[in-house]
Amino acid sequence: MYIDVYGDTLCALVSAAGLAATGHNVSLHVPQGPAATTLARGGCPYREPGLPEMLAEQTTAGRFKLARVDVPPDEKSTMIWLALSPTDMDQAFQIIKGLPVDGERSWLLVNQSTFPVGSTEALQQALKDLPGGESTQRVAASLPDLLIEGAAVSGFIHAEQWILGCDSDWGKRMVAEALRPFNRRRDNIMIMGPREAEFTKLAVTGMLATRLSFMNDMANLADMLDVDIERVRQGMGKDKRIGESYLYPGCGFGGLSFSQDVMSLASTLQHSGIQAQLLDQVLRINERQKESLFRKLWRYYGTDLRGRKVAIWGVAFKPESARIDNAPALKLIEALWAQDVEVHVHDPRALPALAEWAGPRDDLVLHKDQYAALVDADALMLVTEWSAYMSPDLPHMKGSMKQPLILDGRNIWDPTFMKQNGFDYFGIGRR
């Protein structure tokens, strides 16, 4: 097939590269911006495992090429694949208006963009409103983006499931054919209506966010009751009705798509006349949780933080990402700055994004070496659970720090072991 993919999101690049890797001829139409510049230079705007190599390989093979958004689809193409930012819905309609409608040309629009519920139906109507829409196939289908950053390539190639929202038999067959190479071992495509598919995406994200916030509430309560939340978490996870996924307490969740999806679901509920009490609480709990490490530090030093030096390991919103969208570290850093604290940061990938967010400041020092950030520090805050932090050199850490205080926002270290090595250790609901 000839497929034209539109967007500069991670989903757009992974979808385009993945489809090209199975023999499809793919044109990626990229809006003007930093991502387009990086791609034009032969680079990859996302540090996603396997993605740069796949893009380079498919470019060399001639199955992947770049194009501007205003360039028409390939003359052999009948499939438009939208993977735009949630804020770019107007651009989706502009893309439809620019589609060639010569002769009896049919169009299938696959919408992976996380737009409001009902958007795919509106896009289908826009397709039918084009000249010749009554005599040709003009179908829009919803195929929600379920990719997980850090495992997006493998998640696309070896998807556990595809949720397809489509009311047209022709549209279902076309999407199934495009995904056939990824769907050979068993049929992973679950078919439903477009609105149901769009709502499923938001509902899944809302449920995951609710589990995270519930566990954070339980961890805070465990602190008060002198209970180890890790034992509680393991006990809950063994119950088959609950399971282990997304039961890890921490210092809050971030991420542009994850946070926006939760807010979009809450907004959808409110606009429908239903008060989104649960999701409002989920969002409030999460924002409050982002300052949990600060509150522990505040209490430890008796509310006197002025002039202190704090090291932070990890500012990306999740491991294996260079992005800091809504990352818990940002709110934490702002709270520290408000108390005249000098902040020293290490992160394997996200330092450029943090430097751009913060601008030049005397109270923010970025380090390429994780141990250099600890020199004369009054505390270390672990915010992102990068693998490089899992088994650190404890004697080196203790010898570098002014005060061996560890605030573990992801519970990656064992409290007893850290205390035996001479650290004052505080996790999230740990003892």
Domains in the chain with CATH codes: 2-192 (3.40.50.720), 200-288 (1.10.1040.10), 290-426 (3.40.50.720)
| Cβ 348 vs Cβ 388: under 8 Å | yes
Supply the pLDDT for residue 268.
67
| Cβ 91 vs Cβ 69: under 8 Å | yes
This prediction has a pTM of 0.81
Which two structure tokens, joined as six digits, stand for 138?
């003009």
Supply the pLDDT for residue 86.
86
The Cα–Cα gap between 332 and 131 comes to 54
Residues that constitute the known binding site: 114, 149, 201, 246-250, 254, 318
Residues that constitute the known binding site for substrate: 201, 246-250, 254, 318
| Cβ 424 vs Cβ 405: under 8 Å | yes
Which two structure tokens, joined as six digits, stand for 276?
């989104």
- pLDDT tens profile 285-311: 888 999 999 999 999 999 999 999 999
Which two structure tokens, joined as six digits, stand for 130?
């084009």
Q: Identify the CA nearest to 202 among candidates 249, 142, 141, 160.
A: 142
> Per DSSP, which regions of 199-321 are E strands?
309-313
The Cα–Cα gap between 16 and 130 comes to 26
Provide the residue type at 330 as one letter. L
> Per DSSP, which regions of 213-335 are E strands?
309-313
The Cα–Cα gap between 336 and 80 comes to 47
Helix, strand, coil distribution of the chain in percent, nearest 5: 45, 15, 40
Which two structure tokens, joined as six digits, stand for 18?
């993945």
64 strand-pairing partners: 26
Q: Are strands 364-367 and 162-165 parallel, antiparallel or unpaired?
A: unpaired
Show the low-confidence residues of the chain (pLDDT under 70): 103, 133, 135, 256-260, 263-264, 266-276
- Rg of the chain over Cα atoms, rounded to whole angstroms, equals 24
Which two structure tokens, joined as six digits, stand for 128?
């039918």
| Cβ 425 vs Cβ 413: under 8 Å | yes
| Cβ 290 vs Cβ 250: under 8 Å | no
Residues that constitute the known binding site for NAD(+): 114, 149
Geometric angle at alpha carbon 245, from 239 and 247, rounded to 5°: 80
Q: Which helix (H) or strand (E) holds 153?
A: helix 152-157
